[in-house]
């Protein structure tokens, strides 16, 4: 049986995990950026100082990229404080996590280590191994030349070839390059046609240099864009009232697609209803995979109150997560009911408006007698205040002591003042959520947040996730 100290440790880890999933140190609806940053910095320092091994193990969970990079940085900054066994385990986790991060995030991390003066042998080895594993060094040299140059200098690395070294450190000193993308970059300084063979973010600078009209440039560069680049441009085009580049919605990630749908005017959503709904359902089906239709009878309470509008940095993000969860739960369920706090019944027309009567919607949800009740809300129950907590308390302690209905609260917003996501009730597990794609794993993780599961079970779960991340899990070795 776990001691009191173990139970406290389990609570501390879960609190940190919720923060690491939801917070990016940016402004939220109920808190400014400074509050978010200070609160998050405190949690990182507290976890590193008290639970170093568990802190490193969080890298294996579904936390966001911002916090993954922060954990890696702090582990490398404090390498002297770790034991040899800890350093070996941390090195494997760091290498595996860096392989999953976007390259621009990793180059930013390397830059932060350089500015902080972190240049120990382990940091240099991690930089060396990550750069050696990059699939196309020449592509990185073109797209991330500044970051690559700083990383190579800081880690005292020698370029793979003399030509690559010349490009990274003195790109315009050679009359010609044998590597096609390097030669294309050189020619783009003088030939407009060459820039359309470069990555979009690189070509954009050359287009400005040559004075090419924006609409003409976007039309020709479209085939070189990534899915997310095309979607971002389409969103910005709608804000300007123009058509913009058409993104392929059928391949978009679910939460990102929901964010795009909510950025459209209501009239356009109505006009494109079949296309948008089909894309959302298809994305949800891809996430559900083999678990489609296996969750039984599911009811969801989804928060579309005014606070779901998010902030300037996370515009409509809470509502987008709710919309994406709505479609994913519909795919996972055998029988599904989605209840929005506003009372609306058309999810495609969702918009942030009004108060947050979560308690009333929970009453409606329980009337459907679900096997699973999933609540997606920022936890600000205010119509009337506290009703949700009381409904859930009575349900758990008097009406459903046998726990026939599984209840979980998923919160997409970090509450800096409480160093955690805001909870609806102590009787119901709460987990932070950033992307709806993580919902199945978070529902599993939420079982540890009920206060009855100790450190042993949580540590075993984290060890399993770490083994999967590093390739030590039997399933991963089989692949």
Over residues 118-175, the pLDDT tens digits come to 988 889 999 999 999 999 999 999 999 999 999 999 999 988 899 999 999 999 889 9
State which residues form the domain around 280: 263-452
Q: Please give the biggest Cα pair distance in the chain.
A: 81
Task: Give which of 376, 438, 310 is closest to 17, Cα–Cα.
Answer: 438
The answer as to whether 276 is a domain residue is: yes
- Across the chain, mean pLDDT equals 87
Res. 476 pLDDT band, cuts 50 70 90 = very low
What are the phi and psi torsion angles at 339 (to 5°)?
A: -120, 115
List residues bridging with 299 in a β-sheet: 337, 373
Residue 449's pLDDT is 64
pTM: 0.81
- Give residues with Cβ within 8 angstroms of 118, minimum separation 6: 73, 76, 77
Res. 459 pLDDT band, cuts 50 70 90 = confident
Over residues 439-453, the pLDDT tens digits come to 988 887 776 766 545
Mean pLDDT (whole number) for 201-229: 89
Mean pLDDT (whole number) for 186-211: 93
Residue 1's pLDDT is 44
- Give residues with Cβ within 8 angstroms of 99, minimum separation 6: 130, 133
Whether the Cβ atoms of residue 369 and residue 293 lie closer than 8 Å to each other? no
Ramachandran area for residue 282 (φ above 0: left; ψ -120 to 50: alpha; else beta): alpha
Over residues 399-435, the pLDDT tens digits come to 888 888 889 999 888 877 666 788 888 888 888 888 9
Task: Give which of 90, 53, 50 is closest to 73, Cα–Cα.
Answer: 90
With a cut of 90, say whether residue 237 has pLDDT above it: no
Distance CA 72, CA 461 (A): 21
Q: Is the link from the previous residue into 384 a cis peptide, with omega within 30 of 0?
A: yes
Mean pLDDT (whole number) for 164-187: 94
The answer as to whether 37 is a domain residue is: no
Over residues 299-357, the pLDDT tens digits come to 999 999 988 887 666 678 899 999 999 999 999 999 999 999 999 999 999 999 888 88
The answer as to whether 207 is a domain residue is: no
With a cut of 80, say whether residue 91 has pLDDT above it: yes
The answer as to whether 429 is a domain residue is: yes
With a cut of 50, say whether residue 479 has pLDDT above it: no
Residue 477's pLDDT is 46
How many Å separate Cα 131 from the centre of its chain? Answer: 23
Using a 10 angstrom Cβ sphere, with 0-12 exposed, 13-18 middle and 19 or more buried, the burial of residue 290 is exposed
Residue 27's pLDDT is 64
Residue 186's pLDDT is 95
The answer as to whether 177 is a domain residue is: no
Over residues 285-312, the pLDDT tens digits come to 999 999 999 999 999 999 999 888 876 6
Position with higher pLDDT, 183 vs 402: 183
The answer as to whether 315 is a domain residue is: yes
Distance CA 186, CA 415 (A): 49
- For the domain that residue 362 is a member of, what is the CATH number? 3.40.50
Res. 26 pLDDT band, cuts 50 70 90 = low
The token pair at 380 is 């600000």
What are the phi and psi torsion angles at 266 (to 5°)?
A: -55, -40
40, containing H or E segment: helix 33-50
Count the residues in the chain.
479
Res. 478 pLDDT band, cuts 50 70 90 = very low
Whether the Cβ atoms of residue 353 and residue 342 lie closer than 8 Å to each other? yes
The answer as to whether 476 is a domain residue is: no
Domain tally, the chain: 1
What are the phi and psi torsion angles at 381 (to 5°)?
A: -85, 110
Counting runs of H as helices and runs of E as strands, what totals does the chain give? 24, 7
Share of the chain above pLDDT 90, in %: 56
Distance CA 403, CA 401 (A): 5
Residue 228's pLDDT is 76
The answer as to whether 86 is a domain residue is: no
């Amino acid at each position: 049986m776990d001691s009191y100290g173990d139970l406290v440790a389990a609570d501390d880890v879960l609190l940190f995990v919720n923060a690491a999933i939801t917070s990016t140190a940016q402004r939220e609806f109920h808190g400014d950026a400074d509050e978010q940053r200070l609160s998050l910095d405190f949690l990182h320092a507290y976890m590193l100082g008290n639970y170093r091994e568990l802190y490193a193990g969080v890298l294996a969970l579904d936390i966001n990229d911002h916090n993954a990079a922060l954990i890696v940085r702090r582990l490398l900054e404090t390498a002297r404080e770790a034991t040899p066994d800890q350093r070996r385990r941390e090195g494997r986790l760091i290498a595996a996590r860096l392989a999953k991060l976007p390259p621009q995030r990793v180059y930013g991390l390397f830059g932060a280590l350089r500015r902080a003066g972190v240049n120990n042998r382990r940091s240099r080895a991690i930089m060396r191994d990550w750069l050696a594993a990059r699939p196309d060094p020449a592509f990185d040299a073109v797209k991330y030349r500044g970051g690559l140059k700083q990383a190579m200098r800081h880690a005292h690395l020698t370029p793979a070839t003399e030509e690559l070294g010349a490009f990274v450190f003195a790109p315009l000193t050679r009359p010609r390059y044998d590597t096609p993308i390097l030669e294309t970059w050189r020619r783009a300084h003088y030939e407009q046609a060459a820039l359309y063979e470069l990555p979009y973010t690189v070509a954009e600078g050359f287009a400005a240099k040559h004075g090419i009209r924006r609409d003409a440039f976007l039309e020709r560069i479209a085939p070189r864009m990534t899915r997310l680049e095309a979607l971002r441009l389409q969103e910005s085009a709608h804000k300007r009232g123009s058509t913009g580049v058409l993104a392929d919605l059928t391949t978009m990630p679910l939460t990102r697609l929901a964010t795009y749908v909510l950025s459209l005017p209501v009239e356009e959503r109505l006009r494109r209803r079949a296309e948008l709904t089909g894309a959302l359902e298809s994305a949800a089906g891809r996430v559900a995979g083999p678990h489609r239709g296996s969750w039984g009878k599911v009811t969801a309470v989804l928060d579309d109150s005014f606070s779901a509008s998010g902030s300037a940095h996370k515009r409509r993000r809470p509502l987008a997560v709710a919309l994406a969860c709505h479609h994913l739960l519909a795919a996972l369920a055998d029988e599904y009911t989605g209840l929005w706090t506003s009372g609306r019944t058309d999810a495609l027309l969702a918009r942030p408006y009004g108060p947050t009567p979560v308690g009333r919607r929970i009453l409606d949800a329980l009337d459907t007698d679900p096997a699973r009740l999933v609540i997606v809300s920022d936890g600000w129950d205010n119509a009337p205040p506290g009703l949700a907590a009381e409904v859930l308390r009575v349900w758990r302690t008097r009406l459903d002591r046998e726990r026939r209905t599984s209840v979980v609260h998923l919160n997409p917003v970090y509450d800096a003042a409480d160093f955690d996501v805001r909870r609806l009730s102590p009787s119901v597990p709460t987990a932070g959520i950033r992307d709806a794609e993580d919902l199945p794993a978070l529902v599993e993780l939420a079982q540890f947040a009920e206060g009855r599961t100790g450190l042993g079970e949580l540590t075993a779960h984290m060890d399993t996730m770490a083994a999967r991340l590093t390739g030590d899990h039997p399933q991963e070795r089989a692949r």
